[in-house]
């Protein structure tokens, strides 16, 4: 067990190193981050301009993962190719409901109208 004087000395040394690290970090920080790729100097670099399709809303996600599981998701917009809740594929369920309505005698024009009214004006697409 350490006595109070030794503990105070060690704590003071730790605080001095902490503040020295903070001051060094602040002195080297200029607000800009530069990344330089490794390569030869004789390689020509060309900038490629991409034109974005105005029919889509381009978004930049803050979190990306191949497979992600979250306990709670609070979002303004979500776009997905597959939506599963308690083992039921909701998108497939909607498609089967439309097929059932069609089999029960609802006209193709009415079901197509329901599908067209459900489409969003500008689908989401990841920013290149």
Report which of 53, 73, 71 is spatially closest to residue 61, judged by C-alpha positions. Answer: 73
Q: According to the model, what pLDDT value does residue 64 have?
A: 59
Give the start-to-end residue ranges of the domains of the chain. 74-126
The beta strand positions in the chain, using DSSP E, are 57-59, 84-85, 88-89, 124-126
Q: How many CA atoms lie within 13 A of 22 on its CB side?
A: 6
Q: Picking from 37-46, 51-60, 75-84, which range would have the lowest pLDDT averaged per residue?
A: 37-46
- Mean pLDDT over 9-36 rounds to 79
**Which of 10-14, 20-24, 57-61, 69-73 shows the lowest per-residue confidence on average (mean pLDDT)?**
69-73
- Give me the pLDDT at residue 42, please: 55
Asked if pLDDT for residue 74 goes beyond 80, the answer is: no
More confident residue, 50 or 19: 19
Interior/surface letters 79-116, b for 16+ CB within 10 angstroms, e for the rest: eeeeeeeeeeeeeeeeeeeeeeeeeeeeeeeeeeeeee
């Amino acid at each position: 067990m350490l006595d109070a004087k030794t503990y105070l000395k060690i704590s003071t040394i730790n605080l001095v190193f902490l503040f020295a690290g903070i001051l060094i970090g602040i002195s080297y920080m200029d607000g800009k981050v530069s990344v330089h790729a490794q390569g030869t100097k004789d390689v020509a670099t060309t900038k490629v301009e991409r034109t974005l399709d105005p029919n889509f809303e381009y978004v930049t996600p803050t979190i990306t993962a191949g497979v992600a599981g979250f306990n709670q998701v609070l979002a303004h917009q979500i776009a997905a190719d597959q939506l599963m809740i308690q083992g039921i594929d909701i998108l497939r369920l909607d498609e089967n409901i439309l097929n059932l309505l069609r089999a029960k005698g609802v006209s193709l024009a009415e079901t197509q109208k329901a599908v067209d009214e459900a489409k969003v004006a500008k689908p989401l697409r990841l920013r290149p």
